[in-house]
Structure 1
Amino acid sequence: MTNPPDDVLRSLDDDARLMAQILLRTARHASLATVEPETGYPMASRVAVATDADGAPTLLVSSLAPHTAALANDSRCSLLFGEPGKGDPLAHPRLTVSGRAELLASGDPRHARVRRRFLSRHRKSTTYADFGDFSFVAIAIERARLNGGFARAYALSPDDLCASVEEALAEAEADIIDRLSTAPDVAANLASRLLRSDELGWRVATLDPTGFEMMLGDRIERIVFSRPARTPDDYDMLFKQLLDSGGEEASE
């Protein structure tokens, strides 16, 4: 099968890149396609997803699941992100990423961070995440395709979706979120000023140098900083700017 002709694809711009990043970073689940070992046929399943600090998709899989055996046999896989809304489901944005899955051993330096970020998004998974037959998986993206709606198709590279993160910034995330969660009314003010929501219960769930996710129940919203954080100390300034500007210096 040949690739679609170039004239089917639009030139990638900042708006399309941001749309793809938000689809990836705000997803709670995705369709996972793997290669069935016994037959070589494609096999699709639904999986819960999160992202590492750099934007790479992460999964929590059971050794009893067929897709886990498939990934162990052939690490190539594809994930489809995007929530159909009202009307034509093909009119809504979706993102397909293709890459290779890597099982994260407990001693892997990424394991604790991936675990923390995943469980912050999927709190009910805490009850079984540490069972012996469950493992965290990171997906190394090799290519991606965004369909933003009718006649809005784009090809993306790994660099369009993921950005390397300094270790100090990645490790600062947990402490900063703890401080935000204990500071009086910070989450409520962020939700009110940035999301225009006065509902109670919003929290900052995950944080990375380019932005953060807020959650209320199953709802996830991403806020993008006006510029990336370069040091852990930058986070305080970036959050203060967002609150002072009422969200004018951020994008969702």
Structure 2
Amino acid sequence: MSGTDQGGGEKRGPARPLPAAEAGFDAVGLARDLLRTVRSGALATLEPDGTPFCSLVTMATDADGTPLMLLSRLSAHTRNLLAEPRCSLLFSAGGKGDPLAHPRLTVVGRAVPSQDPRVRARFLTRHPKAKLYADFPDFGFFSLDPSAGHLNGGFAKAATLTRDELLLDLAGAEGVVAGEGGAVEHMNADHADALALYAAGAGGGEGRWQLTGLDPEGMDLVAGERAVRVTYPERVSDMGALRKVLVAMAAQARVDAP
């Protein structure tokens, strides 16, 4: 019966996830949202004998969405990465009810140590309590250079993503990346009301929202254990354009607020 089933029809192999462009839903948008909003997940590394080893880590992202981690060299997963950088990270949104009904993303690639000041700043802004141990001699920052993503958006929603689909193209927006630190500090110090409006408009609910990062396409906010990704109505390429967009977004949010 090779090639056919018992009913005479053509035998089909197991269904495989479609490429993001053919998935029938916004796989790229959902994957990037998970990258920006999930702050802890499972890190899978390889032991020296090839045995898979999985552990829980906290995560942030660089301006382009590259996953970032702060790891202790005393941990087994860090020793594994220093010997074999291939690994994967699971970003799971979680929620009530069946855990398999909620979206999750696995990113595979290679993790490499990083001493980039922006990596440090972005991670610690996302996880301020990590400042207590970030400078311990055994701790160091790592970035995961992704090669692919595997998205499950819930039942009957699956897709594979390329590196370019996971990450933002920062070309032409170097000014936004360079000015991010000052803009984040300014918004948190002087515009808490606007941040609350942005978060509410993105479904984050009420709370004392803090800006943890921004990029040419959106900004990332947290309030306690909650996180939300706010996208701009259009991509910005410099700080002047960013200011105009943020002012317009705040004005529109005030009009739309109940």
Q: Same fold (TM over 0.5)?
A: yes
Could you state the TM-score of these two structures normalised by the residue count of structure 2?
A: 0.86
Is the 8 Å Cα contact of residues 197 and 254 (structure 2) preserved in structure 1? no
Match of 1:71 among 77, 81, 96: 81
Unpaired stretches in structure 2, ≥5 consecutive residues: 1-12
> What is the distance in 2 between the residues matched to 1:189 and 1:95?
28
Aligned-residue CA RMSD (Å): 2.1
Match of 2:198 among 175, 180, 190: 190
Matches within 5 A, 1:1-252: 7-10=15-18, 11-12=22-23, 15-37=26-48, 39-105=49-115, 111-165=116-170, 166-184=173-191, 185-195=193-203, 197-199=205-207, 201-246=208-253
Is the 8 Å Cα contact of residues 193 and 247 (structure 1) preserved in structure 2? no
Q: Which residue of 1 aligns with 2:5?
A: none
Could you state the TM-score of these two structures normalised by the residue count of structure 1?
A: 0.88
Deviation at 1:59, TM superposition (A): 0.2
- Of structures 1 and 2, the larger Rg is shown by 2
Deviation at 1:179, TM superposition (A): 1.6
Unpaired stretches in structure 1, ≥5 consecutive residues: 106-110
Is the 8 Å Cα contact of residues 28 and 48 (structure 1) preserved in structure 2? yes
The total of aligned residue pairs comes to 238
188-197 vs 43-52, greater mean Cα deviation: 188-197
SS at structure 1 position matched to 2:239:
coil
Identity of aligned residues (%): 38
> What is the distance in 1 between the residues matched to 2:138 and 2:91?
26
